[in-house]
Amino acid sequence: MNAQKVIEELKKQYPGKNIIINDPDNPTEVICEVEPASLNPERSVAIAVLDSNVKHYHRLAKEIYEVIKGNLEITKEGKTYFLSPGEKLEIQPEEYHMAMGKETWVKVTSEPAWTSEDQIPIEEGTKFQ
């Protein structure tokens, strides 16, 4: 991923918004907080530009992934979906999921708003109680 190019484009499209890089040494996901949790704890919206993200689930949040640009491969509860621009996938609380693309732009809406405490990374084979 050309993180610098992605960051410059995000800054142009969403001036003044907070931008987060998952790993500055090996970026696979850049997130722009369009409507952060600090503005509304009930709902947040982010633009994620990703090559891949970590397999995880959320205890409370329902997420909707909507592809803006590129193609997204998303695995949810062991089933793989392929999304193109304009297509959406809803992810319920406690449904494990991970996504892959190639600098794919995805609008992620989270209800309630996304928090780091609610995002739980998991290992293969982890079962929910």
Q: What is the CATH number of the domain that holds 15?
A: 2.60.120.10
pLDDT digits (tens, 9 = 90+) for 59-97: 999 999 999 999 999 999 999 999 999 999 999 999 999
On the question of a cis peptide bond just before residue 112, with omega within 30 degrees of 0, the verdict is yes
Per-residue model confidence (pLDDT) at position 54: 85
| 16, part of any domain | yes
Residues spanned by the domain of 72: 3-115
In a domain, 123, yes or no: no
Helix (H, G, I), strand (E, B) or coil at 8: helix
Residue of 90, 78, 88, 63 whose CA lies nearest to 122: 78
Inside any domain, residue 128: no
Confidence class for position 111, pLDDT limits 50, 70, 90: very high
127 lies in some domain? no
Number of domains in the chain: 1
As a whole number of angstroms, the distance between CA 124 and CA 99 comes to 15
Indicate the pTM of the whole model: 0.89
Token pair recorded at residue 18: 């907070």
Predicted pLDDT at 129:
35
User: Strand pairing partners for 20?
Assistant: 31
Band of pLDDT at residue 123, cut at 50, 70 and 90? low
